[in-house]
Amino acid sequence: MGIFISFLSGLVFGLGLLISGMASPAKVLGFLDIAGQWDPSLALVMVGAIAVGLVAFTLARRRNVSLLGLDMKLPTTRHIDRRLVIGSLLFGIGWGVAGLCPGPALVALGTGQPTSVAFVAAMLAGMGFFELLERAKSTRQQA
């Protein structure tokens, strides 16, 4: 049952990204262009997503198991460190340059957008590079 709910949730999320325009780099870049022809429509999408997330996380914090009976896996740390700040900056720069972030990029990949192919390839390469760095760091710490 959990896999079906996960699939359904992903499907609803992807459809929401398509309908809202979040999977369109031009729409996202128009939103980020506050000095030019700014398109504020995605602000409403973000406010709606934040509202839904706020309610969901508030309710989730009060539970030990999900509605499906699965363990709740919520973040517990509130520590802001250098890695978080650098990762956030890289994420923001990538979003501003490409007009895509990981979720919408995967949705756009499914629609055949050429930009998304390059973005997802670069994203996977970056994830692989990070994994190599983490393994090398772990190996050095164990030695």
- Going residue by residue through the chain, which has 143 residues, state the pLDDT in tens, using 9 for 90 and above: 778 988 999 999 999 888 888 888 888 899 888 898 899 988 888 899 899 999 999 999 899 898 888 888 888 888 999 999 999 998 899 888 889 989 899 999 988 888 899 999 999 999 999 999 999 999 888 87
Cβ-contact 109, 117 below 8 angstroms? yes
Residue 46, pLDDT score? 87
DSSP 40: T
For the beta carbon of residue 104, count every other beta carbon within 10 angstroms: 27
Single out the residue of 53, 49, 70, 54 nearest to residue 5, CA to CA: 70
Task: Give all strands (DSSP E) within the chain, no chain letters.
Answer: none
